[in-house]
A and B are shown apart, each in its own frame.
Chain A
């Protein structure tokens, strides 16, 4: 026999021969074997852990790692900033020595980024705005993922629901998102909840459709049929066979919908349907800055919020892409 055998095949064969050596009765020979975690793993690649490989692959991308650090620091700082000494609250109007509000004051040691058109401190407004915009972005991403995955699995598994969901998808996909955003924000009272709701209402269906397609494709693939025949539970099939394929794209979509939501907020605010002016957000700040942008000395009020907005959105975009590459099991090993 000139064949070179894979060590795993050899081990398996040995196992079978040993089992046959034992004197088994007819009933024992054809009885169902119970599922055994250890036995199931034995044929697999040794020492492979999905998350460990993902993290290892992600760490190799140094740009994404650096941006992750930047993003973590920004996130942390938005919560630390109000506790630092010498800070203003974002809505507080500062008065000058003559008792009048300090309007459009350029940057100095008290107001680190200057003040806006009615004398509010720009530094604290930028951070409060970043905090609120991040809350909006992350809530939208989480909501979309949660509803999308749940509905997508239902869509894929329950055949009776297919027609209903497909029709719903056609409708949502055909109404321009802008129109939905505008109508929902107009009908409901302005506020954080409204804006998050308006943005999630169209976003989830894209995620659901993706999950549904994957469920349909993957669940009847040979390796899943094999798993099922071997008595693997549905939960295990979903967790070990299906989910790793989905993680990559789910994470990508989530990471991209955060900058998307932050951008939509700027747009809705411009139209005049955004957050009320008491709640500071990057959209509100950019819109305030836009009104003053034609005078070069006041342009800083547009530029500072834009810088932080760009840092946040670019970081999420690059990290999302890098993580999605790293999380794809095809790129492991």
Chain B
């Protein structure tokens, strides 16, 4: 097990290295006029001097080498435009907690609603609760989130009579962003849990439990739910990450000062070090999420073992 994890970890590091290199090269393809606020009035030498100061005139491999040397010393660089001269890590450290809080609340809420919803849909398969749930799932999955978020903001703020702008201290203003952020996950959890539970309920062990005289409630929760939850567990960490990253739009329309909104902002300002810093954090969490998901699965289902799985192709 340990050997497998170590191997997996080494591979993840390699993937991370490739991702960072690609994004690093991509970022340097951005138009140079974006680096200067008064590009039109500058002379050729001024531009050259400016670029040289930022280290952009060096050959790509040298820039990359510098970047990785700094990174290995635990230095993410300093912000150029967003907060001039402030280390990237210091900026991100203040932004990260808000995004994580928002994401955690959203995941918690979606599990509290999505899992019972999926269970109910499976229990009343083909009947009214199932059909109602299906309509909800289709609506949420088919209509782009970018659109229904707007309507939640529009009518939600009127209903609660609050401002459009997010206020961290006021708990009422947390409701709508968390709710919007949860909808996609609720639909996703409910859809998959329903499918897995329906699959499980057709299996022999359920019939046996019924013959033994176990109550329906007991069968539903002790037997079917536990087995159906195993494939869901694998997805949980990734869905948490997707929620934090997916909050780019939410954070932006509600003016929440978190990581998501920040990424869009720094890309517009061409603050290269900031972009790489955020991408690094997002990718790390993403890779960790995949690993954690697999670990969670072994926790919920003792039959799954990775040492065996790693041997197969």
A318 to B138, CA, bound (A): 8
The answer on a CB contact under 8 Å between B142 and A316 is yes
Q: Which of B15, B246, B290 has the most CB of A within 10 A?
A: B15
The answer on a CB contact under 8 Å between B287 and A174 is yes
> Is A306 interfacial (CB-CB < 8 Å)?
yes
The answer on a CB contact under 8 Å between A171 and B248 is no
A310 to B144, CA, bound (A): 8
- Given A171-B15, A178-B245, A302-B150, check contact A183 B144 (CB 8 Å): no
> Is A249 interfacial (CB-CB < 8 Å)?
no
The answer on a CB contact under 8 Å between B147 and A171 is no
**Interfacial chain B residues near A174, Cβ < 8 Å:** 15-16, 19, 283, 286-287, 290
A131 to B139, CA, bound (A): 22
- Given A266-B147, A270-B249, A294-B164, check contact A318 B142 (CB 8 Å): yes
A294 to B155, CA, bound (A): 10
B293: shortest Cβ distance to chain A, in Å? 13
Please provide the chain A residues from 163 to 210 with a CB less than 8 Å away from any CB of chain B in the complex.
Answer: 167, 170-171, 174-176, 178-179, 182-184, 186-187
A306 to B31, CA, bound (A): 34
> Is A281 interfacial (CB-CB < 8 Å)?
no
**Interfacial chain A residues near B141, Cβ < 8 Å:** 317
A66: shortest Cβ distance to chain B, in Å? 14
**Interfacial chain A residues near B51, Cβ < 8 Å:** none
Pick from B19, B249, B290: contact of A267, CB under 8 Å: B249
> Is B175 interfacial (CB-CB < 8 Å)?
no
The answer on a CB contact under 8 Å between A259 and B142 is yes
A272 to B11, CA, bound (A): 36
**Interfacial chain B residues near A263, Cβ < 8 Å:** 143-147
Task: Name the CB-closest residue of B to A305.
Answer: B147
Number of A-B contacts (CB under 8 A): 100
A250: shortest Cβ distance to chain B, in Å? 19
A79 to B108, CA, bound (A): 46
> Is B56 interfacial (CB-CB < 8 Å)?
no
The answer on a CB contact under 8 Å between A187 and B147 is no
A171 to B12, CA, bound (A): 10
**Interfacial chain B residues near A186, Cβ < 8 Å:** 30, 267-268
Interface size, chain A (Cβ < 8 Å): 36
> Is B89 interfacial (CB-CB < 8 Å)?
no
The answer on a CB contact under 8 Å between B150 and A171 is no
B154: shortest Cβ distance to chain A, in Å? 5
Contact indicator per residue, chain A 281-319, by CB within 8 Å of chain B (1) or not (0): 000001000100110000100100010011001101110
> Is B299 interfacial (CB-CB < 8 Å)?
no
A309 to B146, CA, bound (A): 11
A263 to B16, CA, bound (A): 29
The answer on a CB contact under 8 Å between A293 and B154 is yes
**Interfacial chain A residues near B147, Cβ < 8 Å:** 263, 266, 286, 306, 309-310
Q: Which of B145, B150, B252, B287 has the most CB of A within 10 A?
A: B150
**Interfacial chain A residues near B190, Cβ < 8 Å:** none
Q: List 28 A-B contacts (CB under 8 A).
A: A167-B15, A170-B15, A174-B19, A174-B287, A174-B290, A176-B245, A176-B283, A179-B23, A182-B264, A183-B23, A183-B267, A187-B30, A259-B142, A262-B144, A266-B144, A266-B147, A267-B146, A306-B151, A309-B143, A309-B144, A310-B142, A310-B143, A313-B143, A314-B142, A316-B142, A317-B138, A317-B142, A318-B138
Chain B residues near A (Cβ < 8 Å): 11, 15-16, 18-19, 22-23, 26-27, 29-31, 138-139, 141-147, 150-151, 154, 164, 245-246, 248-249, 252-253, 263-264, 267-268, 279, 282-283, 286-287, 290
